[in-house]
Amino acid sequence: MEVSSHWRVKQQRYALIGEVCPSCEAKIFPPRDVCPECGDEAKTHYQFSGLGEVYSYTTLYDAPQGHEAQIPYTLALVRLEEGPLVTAQLTDLDDENIEVGMPVEMVTRKLRSDGERGMLVYGYKFRPRLQAA
Amino acid sequence: MTNSNFPPQDIYIIGVGMTPAGEHWEKSLRELALDAMIPARQEAGGIAPEALYVANMLAPVLSRQSHLGALLADFAGMRGIEAVTLEAAGASGGMALRHAVMAIASGLVRSALVVGVEKFSERVSSEIEAALSTAGDADFESVHGVTQTALAAMLMRRYQVEFSAPSDAFAGFSVTAHANGAGNPLAMFQRAIKAESYQRAGMVSDPLNMFDAAPMADGAAALMVAAGDAIPADSRYPKIRIAASSAAVDAVALHDRRDPLDFSAVRDSTAEALKQARLERDQIDLFEVHDRYTIYSALTLEAAGYAERGKAWQLAQNGQVSLNGSLPITTFGGSKARGDTGGANGVYQAAEATLQLQGRAGEIQIRNAKTAMIQALGGAGATAVTHILTGSETA
């Protein structure tokens, strides 16, 4: 069931909570406790804005177990405004043409389901950024 | 990164064995491994291995079988020796060879058998995809439905955008691998393809098409490795010296890398290997790269210093990496045409390079091949294990 492994990262999955390095101020996602830039300890929580742009993307027609129902789906590497890259699905695409550099924003969606009696795993996906109201 | 005076003593490959790569429905994991171990031991003559290093990536998932060291040593009639599995995803084969080298270099072991084995055909494709994706980051990649193919596809798109490479830029790697595979009787695909076939191929994960991705194949390969003073004088074939052995890692997840298009583990382990062998890049006669995806061949050649960034695809397009080019790669077809045998890949590469250096490669023989570099990658270049082999004339 892997309940604890999903529960453990709920702050990341639901709210894009990463870390900021107290020494060099690098923003870190996913959290890793040791700053990849300067090597110092970095355990200070940091809330990412959820805004970014598409670094690269692909659409899959062959899915691994647990994702068959989503085929075809589009995955992306998103460059967050604060610096880090994050791997996630793109969603709410409608007829939108995806492009490298396209602005996107984080939303919460169902990531996978482990069968009828299995868990539903929720977390971040990214959609084309809506026009500011 | 390794940092040693290499080698403390001369270490050689003195026997190789390979099964055909493909779908071996009739063979179990252990039977397949045995089919490679027997010829490797026979070629080495009377020398008995003191240790068995098994390279395997997915048997615990795909065959519900771990503990392959004891299982295979017993099945091959070698009870009593030491045996263990080495796992570094697709780099497992290179890593198992490196452990044989380290064991022999330490003096604790004088001869070792290395066997790489992988059995994919036990499962359907969605289960294989899920198993292969365990080489990525489970919490932050795989949970989103990321596959190894999707990672390669995203690298390929970014490469095309960043370097303005044409849509058929990578065709040359596929054409080269298939041309070479046509001369390898053990290859899964033994027919050359035309550039037009690449253009027409079905999309797997855009922009990555069927000819950009290697097929997963069952297979096993084995090597007998020994210290120079443990080798009988009457070996059947020229012994092949292991002139360098090095390994380096990068972040597992692409999103954790400073520049995903820079395969830094390749750069680090290649530089270290060349230093150990006291060779310059252009003294390498053939380079068995990890070509599970065509984009990996390009990123490898660039990180290893054989091409400028964004330009390696031109080497394939111009024929420079073909059998008669300045730096032949994937000379037995690589993963693309031989078949990708997962954790066994690195052992196949070593066996194939050995045949090239011994002059036993048949119609795909590289003339006067004296030095070969082989490189096994795990995941999207997260682990790189590099070896340099030299023919005995130059030893």
The residue of chain A nearest to residue B142, with distances taken between CA atoms, is A64
Size of interface A-B (CB pairs under 8 A): 110
User: d(Cα B148, Cα B207) in Å, to the nearest integer?
Assistant: 14
Is B182 part of the contact surface with chain A (CB cutoff 8 Å)?
no
User: d(Cα B317, Cα B170) in Å, to the nearest integer?
Assistant: 8
Interface contact flag, B205 A5, Cβ < 8 Å: no
Give the domain-ending residue among B202, B230, B258.
B230
Domain membership flag for residue B130: no
* Count of domains observed in chain B: 2
Q: Which residues of chain B does A87 touch, with a Cβ-Cβ cutoff of 8 Å?
A: 137, 140-141, 144, 146, 253-255
| Nearest CB neighbour to B129, from listed A55, A56, A64 | A64
Residues B381, B263 contacting (CB under 8 angstroms): yes
Q: Which residues of chain B does A68 touch, with a Cβ-Cβ cutoff of 8 Å?
A: 126
B225 and B204 both lie in a single domain? no
B284 and B322 both lie in a single domain? yes
Q: How far is CA A58 from CA A97, B173, B395, in A?
A: 12, 21, 47
Q: How far is CA B45 from CA A34, B15, B34, B312, in A?
A: 52, 8, 17, 42
Interface contact flag, A59 B206, Cβ < 8 Å: yes
B20 and B149 both lie in a single domain? no
B303 and B173 both lie in a single domain? yes
Domain membership flag for residue B293: yes
Burial of B319 (0-12, 13-18, 19+ CB in 10 A): middle
CATH code, B246: 3.40.47.10
Domain membership flag for residue B3: no
Between A66 and A46, whose confidence is greater?
Answer: A46
- Which residues are CB-neighbours of B269 under 8 A, at least 6 positions away? B1, B246, B247, B248, B375, B384, B385, B386
Is B138 part of the contact surface with chain A (CB cutoff 8 Å)?
yes
Domain membership flag for residue B207: yes
Provide the ipTM.
0.95
- Which residues are CB-neighbours of B220 under 8 A, at least 6 positions away? B18, B19, B32, B33, B35, B36, B37, B115, B116, B117, B118, B341, B344
B204 and B57 both lie in a single domain? no
B161 and B298 both lie in a single domain? yes
Q: Which residues of chain A does B135 touch, with a Cβ-Cβ cutoff of 8 Å?
A: none
Domain membership flag for residue B360: yes
B91 and B156 both lie in a single domain? no
Give the domain-ending residue among B230, B263, B279.
B230
Quote the minimal CA–CA distance from A51 to chain B in Å.
16
Q: Which residues of chain A does B205 touch, with a Cβ-Cβ cutoff of 8 Å?
A: 58-62
B68 and B168 both lie in a single domain? no
Residue-averaged pLDDT of chain B: 95
Interface contact flag, A64 B133, Cβ < 8 Å: yes
DSSP result, A52-112: EEEEEEEEESS--TT-GGG-SEEEEEEEETTS-EEEEEE---TTPPP-TT-EEEEEEEEEE
Ranges in chain B, pLDDT < 70 = 1-8, 393-395
Q: Which residues of chain B does A9 touch, with a Cβ-Cβ cutoff of 8 Å?
A: 139-140
Is A11 part of the contact surface with chain B (CB cutoff 8 Å)?
no
Q: What is the mean pLDDT of residues A22-46?
A: 95
User: In the sheet where A44-47 sits, what is the strand order?
Assistant: A27-28, A17-20, A44-47
Quote the minimal CA–CA distance from A131 to chain B in Å.
26
Q: Tell me the Cα Rg of chain B.
A: 19
Quote the minimal CA–CA distance from A81 to chain B in Å.
14
Place of tokens 């990531």: A111
B175 and B268 both lie in a single domain? yes
pTM for the whole thing? 0.96
Given this model, what pLDDT does residue B395 score?
39
The pLDDT tens digits for B271-312 are 999 999 999 999 999 999 999 999 999 999 999 999 999 999
The pLDDT tens digits for B71-98 are 999 999 999 999 999 999 999 999 999 9
Domain membership flag for residue B256: yes
Quote the minimal CA–CA distance from B138 to chain A in Å.
10
Side-chain half-sphere CA neighbours of B46 within 13 A: 4
Give the domain-ending residue among B198, B230, B262.
B230
Domain membership flag for residue B278: yes
Domain membership flag for residue B336: yes
Q: Which residues of chain B does A70 touch, with a Cβ-Cβ cutoff of 8 Å?
A: 145
B206 and B341 both lie in a single domain? yes
B269 and B381 both lie in a single domain? yes
Given this model, what pLDDT does residue B4 score?
53
Q: Give the residue from A3, A6, A33, A56 with the most B CB atoms within 10 Å of its CB, the best one to mutate.
A: A56
Instruction: Provide the residue range defining the domain that includes B139.
Output: 135-215+240-394
Q: What is the mean pLDDT of residues A55-84?
A: 94
Interface contact flag, B126 A64, Cβ < 8 Å: yes
B35 and B152 both lie in a single domain? no
Interface contact flag, A64 B143, Cβ < 8 Å: no
The residue of chain A nearest to residue B250, with distances taken between CA atoms, is A36
Given this model, what pLDDT does residue B394 score?
41
Q: What is the mean pLDDT of residues A52-66?
A: 93
